Amino acid sequence: MGSVSERELQKQIRQMAPFSESAKQLLGLMEDPEHAIPDVIAVVEKDGPLTARVLRISNTSALAPPSPIERLDHAVSYLGERTVASAAVLQGCDAWLQTGLKGYLTGPTGLWAGGLQGAIAARLIAQESHAKVSPSLAYTGALLRDVGKAVLSPFLEGRVAGLMARVANGSVSDWLAAEREMLGVDHAQIGVRVAESFQLSPALTAVIEHHHAPSGAKAEFVDLVRIVHVADAISSMTGGAPSADAGLQPVSADDLANVGLDTDGLAGVIATAVEEFQQAFESMH
């Protein structure tokens, strides 16, 4: 099967709107264990459109504040830093984050819904896990884990049924192998190039590259990647963000053990993640 040319891949990456400077700063804060809410407010207040978006989200009916929120500091405290960072990432990137990816059979919200669902699950797992991973970093890593799909989707249009069949009948080992066979590259590999283009941190880049195979990550990032790996599976299980590859890379007992979850813990994360996802998704749309 034919590979996608380097020229075509570069063209697709260049067409992706980059994150705003505010989003980059907030993503950086999520990795700093010493950061505080005033640091988040200091970034947002310098960005007029983001300030307006945060205030709008905080006053949505889905969140139902007891009284109208008119001050930015109140809005950030009410929403929480992770929701604010999510809003910043979304700002200006709707064209590729909230567009259906036909090559992956996603709905009209594209990467955003699946990213958000996985992000919430990753935060919950990090809070429960024996691994010392920042819940905020786990959240942002999971939110961005599949950016490579935005690049590869056009090349899978009209071919995804065949790819799904090859995974299902065991002709290839997994979804990523099927992508590589069909296109010469998989969405994790191309996601690294997007991360480099967007100047994302080594931790977030490691998540994007290894979230389907955590053992390949450097030791300093492996716990983080393991958490996102399980969160990715949970996102597939719950079905809130359908995708062609959903359920084709299930979570194993070893995966759960690696993040300190048993089956009861998994059930609890799933139940909470579904509830939180619905509220968060409705508040941002």
For 248-278, what is each residue's pLDDT tens digit? 777 788 999 999 998 888 899 999 999 999 8
- Spatial distance between the Cα atoms of 121 and 175, rounded to a whole number of angstroms: 22
pLDDT tier at 240, thresholds 50, 70, 90 = low
What is the three-state SS of 207-241? Answer: HHHHCCCHHHCCCCCHHHHHHHHHHHHHHHHHCCC
Residue in this structure with the two tokens 């941190």, named with its chain if needed: 201
pLDDT value at 1 more than 60? no
Report the pLDDT value the prediction gives residue 138, as an integer from 0 to 100: 97
Amino acid identity at 104: Y
What sign results for the dihedral spanned by CA atoms 224, 226, 227, 231?
A: positive
How many other CB atoms are found less than 10 A from the CB of residue 241? 22
pLDDT value at 215 more than 90? yes
Report the pLDDT value the prediction gives residue 2, as an integer from 0 to 100: 64
Question: 44-69 burial string, b = 16+ CB within 10 Å, else e?
Answer: beebeebbebbbebbbeeebeeeeeb
Report the pLDDT value the prediction gives residue 50, as an integer from 0 to 100: 96
The predicted model scores a pTM of 0.93
Q: What is the pLDDT of residues 101-138, one digit of tens each?
A: 999 999 888 789 999 999 999 999 999 888 889 999 99
- Enter the DSSP assignment of 19: P
Q: Which domains does the chain have, with CATH numbers?
A: 6-18+94-283 (1.10.3210.10), 19-92 (no CATH)
Question: 248-274 burial string, b = 16+ CB within 10 Å, else e?
Answer: bbebeeebbebbebeeebbeebbeebb
Per the prediction, the chain carries an average pLDDT of 92
pLDDT tier at 246, thresholds 50, 70, 90 = confident
pLDDT tier at 3, thresholds 50, 70, 90 = confident
